[in-house]
Amino acid sequence: MIGERLQRARKAAGVSLRVLADQTDLSHTTIDKFEKEKLKPSSSQLIKMAKVLGVRTEYFFRSDVITIQTPEYRKKTTLAKKVLNKIEGDIFDQAERWHELLNLYPKSPIESFSLPANLLEFISTETQIEDLAVTMRHAWELGLGCIPDLIDTLESQGIMVISTAVKNDEKFDGLTSVVNDIPLIVVDANWVGDRQRFTLAHELGHLLLKNRIAESDNEEKWCNHFAGAFLLPKATLISHLGEHRHNLEPRELYLLKHEFGLSMQGVLFRAKQAEIITQATFERICRMFSMNGWRKCEPQTQYPSEKTILFKQLVYRALAEDYISESKAAELLGLSVIKFHQQRTLDFDPVTH
């Protein structure tokens, strides 16, 4: 098990066998034997390798084993394998800590994910996608207004959400998978909030549409449509913009972006889908976006990104209930005991440091 973890940590750090060997005064042949479980490293060797790879020594001894089903990535084909290895390493590390934390509770502190019983068995039209988005909102008692915190909403429904901060030159958006029977959605922590939220809703679409559309259908297209409809329902958009418009002001799109957490371009696309504007009007406004450079970076204040806090909350809850020690809590959060104690006693503000 140590060998598998060592190889994963090395790839996640983007370090070759020779580089790790040079920085630990070991031969690359020896490290290769460690990874293939042909040789067992000593405590001092593990400490050296952990320091170079940026992990705690406890990482090599975790007993929990997780299984991540084949993930479905939203990424560009030009994403380098080295960067993808780092992303996968970060996801495995966070998912393992999640699994370990949940197993410390005598009864799971989170709800199990389940689909509403009234979902259509087969979806083949845009109208059915719109209905699916509304059905999910009603099932989760969200109404038709803004969803203030989408990560919190997904987590409250039993979906594990992981944010990865691995730099990837804007070539990775997110993925969906299953970890030990728990649905998993991963989102890039570096993105602005509206792009994060669209990715989260898109990945939710994958969970919902699995085995509900024809194999010949474009699942990415359907998931994009679901994401827009889930974040900004058709009836809600019509109540804000009216049933039919000859033009839309950029400021209208900007205000709706900050009310619903959907990009200006996303709101514009929703207006076309809801038939509030014609295809010609949509194309004219798109040209205006291109001329102003707004397709790559929308103007003025960006929608704030979202963060998951449930994992931290459950660590402190476990500590308060004496399920874990302070040192174990620090390990789960990836902090030194000293820094964790400062946070625990409110002598240190993690928001500003």
- Residue given tokens 């959400």 in the structure block: 161
Paired tokens of 210: 């699995």
**Residue 330 in this model has a pLDDT that exceeds 90:** yes
Show Cβ contacts of residue 95 under 8 Å, excluding neighbours closer than 6 positions: 66, 68, 160, 162, 179, 184
Which of 23-27, 60-64, 130-134 has the least mean pLDDT? 60-64
What local confidence, expressed as pLDDT, does residue 251 receive? 98
What local confidence, expressed as pLDDT, does residue 24 receive? 93
Assign residue 78 a region: left if phi > 0, alpha if psi is -120 to 50, beta otherwise? alpha
Burial per residue of 13-25, b for 16 or more beta-carbon CB atoms within 10 angstroms, e otherwise: bebebeebbeebe
What local confidence, expressed as pLDDT, does residue 353 receive? 55
Overall average pLDDT of the 235-252 stretch: 98
The CA distance from 264 to 253, in Å, is 5
- How is domain 1-61 classified at the CATH fold level? 434 Repressor (Amino-terminal Domain) (1.10.260)
Domain borders along the chain are: 1-61, 71-308, 310-344
Crossing angle of the two packed helices 234-241 and 250-260, in degrees rounded to 10: 140
Show Cβ contacts of residue 212 under 8 Å, excluding neighbours closer than 6 positions: 119, 120, 121, 122, 123
* Total residues belonging to the chain: 353
What local confidence, expressed as pLDDT, does residue 71 receive? 79
Residue 39: which pLDDT band, with cuts at 50, 70 and 90? Answer: very high
**Residue 65 in this model has a pLDDT that exceeds 70:** no
Paired tokens of 222: 């359907």
Residue 106: which pLDDT band, with cuts at 50, 70 and 90? Answer: confident
What local confidence, expressed as pLDDT, does residue 191 receive? 93
What local confidence, expressed as pLDDT, does residue 52 receive? 92
Residue 72: which pLDDT band, with cuts at 50, 70 and 90? Answer: confident
In the chain, beta strands by DSSP E: 72-75, 160-164, 172-179, 182-188
Contact between 203 and 219 (Cβ < 8 Å): no
**pLDDT tens column, 173-185:** 889 999 988 999 9
Which of 32-46, 66-80, 312-326 has the least mean pLDDT? 66-80
Which of 24-33, 239-248, 253-262, 284-293 has the least mean pLDDT? 24-33
What local confidence, expressed as pLDDT, does residue 197 receive? 97
The CA distance from 283 to 194, in Å, is 22
**Residue 220 in this model has a pLDDT that exceeds 70:** yes
**pLDDT tens column, 255-277:** 999 999 999 999 999 999 999 99
Q: What is the mean pLDDT of the chain?
A: 92
Crossing angle of the two packed helices 326-333 and 310-320, in degrees rounded to 10: 170
Overall average pLDDT of the 288-314 stretch: 96
**Residue 74 in this model has a pLDDT that exceeds 80:** no
Crossing angle of the two packed helices 219-231 and 126-139, in degrees rounded to 10: 50
The CA distance from 53 to 62, in Å, is 16
What does residue 160 show for φ and ψ, rounded to 5 degrees?
-80, 125
Using only C-alpha atoms, what is the Rg of the chain?
23
The CA distance from 184 to 314, in Å, is 17
What local confidence, expressed as pLDDT, does residue 27 receive? 92
Sheet containing strand 172-179, strands side by side? 72-75, 172-179, 182-188, 160-164
